[in-house]
Structure 1
């Protein structure tokens, strides 16, 4: 089922969530197909995430940010890479920038500390596109990754 959510931190942003979410770009014609491929690991409440954004569609995307949300609250203090900022108590937004049609973006790596040390955490990865202004196209279900506290990498 396709759903839309309002992301307060980006003001009325339409989130495009999922590994292959379609994002209609201004004008008619081919669409962008945004996807994120990477890995996440959890050890003692610390989550390491690395991924590479891809646009498998024919249309370029002028500006894109990814939202990473965890099922557990984040610790109050985080050291995040440039281009990333906290969004509420369970999410981080990272700027991906423009993606050419059939293009690959710069890899993103970050580490977050959870408030507690759970045995597992659910990570949801989605796109906030068009500088926070929705395109009106449909949204697919979130791309979800269950990460166990084993220190092992879980790929998505």
Structure 2
């Protein structure tokens, strides 16, 4: 069992407790759009045909988010069928979508760990990270949730 699978199995990197209460989203005055500040950070490692991704998502507010989904796109196609953490699914040959769950405005962190197999052994992979769903709430600072990171096949962790 890989370290990533072990961490996910023990809940150390799970996407949050399914029993967690949903945040209450206050009503918005007519003509105003609710705002939030979602951030995604973590690291990606590439070795042989394996790609490890550690992801942390948070919201600095001012509005609570009832649900957030992050998209991870890779420059190399993923191998056929493979296990993904709970809340994650394939979005195409080289895309994974992960439901991070509710993100309250207090900056509480949700974590996910992915241990992916690629369809080949590339010398490097580019990973693009972005938010695809936040319940229609406008992000006032999208630069901290949209990333592009190059991961050479060194096994080292490259941060985003």
TM-score range, shorter chain: 0.7 to 0.9
Aligned length: 130
Listed one character per residue, the Cα deviations across residues 84-124 of structure 1 (whole Å, up to 9, x for unaligned) are 11111010011101101132232110111111110000001
Paired position in structure 1 for 2:132: 128
The two structures have a TM-score, normalised by structure 1, of 0.74
Cα 1:136–1:152 change in 2 (3 A) is closer
Superposition pairs of residues 67-106 of structure 1, within 5 angstroms: 67-106=71-110
1:57 to 51, 58, 61: 61
d(CA) in 2 for partners of 1:55 and 1:147?
26
Cα 1:26–1:112 change in 2 (3 A) is farther
Cα 1:125–1:115 change in 2 (3 A) is same
1:147 equivalent to 2:151? Answer: yes
User: Structure 2, unaligned stretches of length 5 or more?
Assistant: 1-25
2:124–2:151 contact (8 Å) kept in structure 1: yes
Cα 1:106–1:31 change in 2 (3 A) is same
d(CA) in 2 for partners of 1:26 and 1:84?
30
Cα 1:108–1:48 change in 2 (3 A) is same
User: Structure 1, unaligned stretches of length 5 or more?
Assistant: 1-24
In terms of mean alpha carbon deviation, does 28-37 or 104-113 score higher? Answer: 28-37
The alignment yields a C-alpha RMSD, in angstroms, of: 2.3
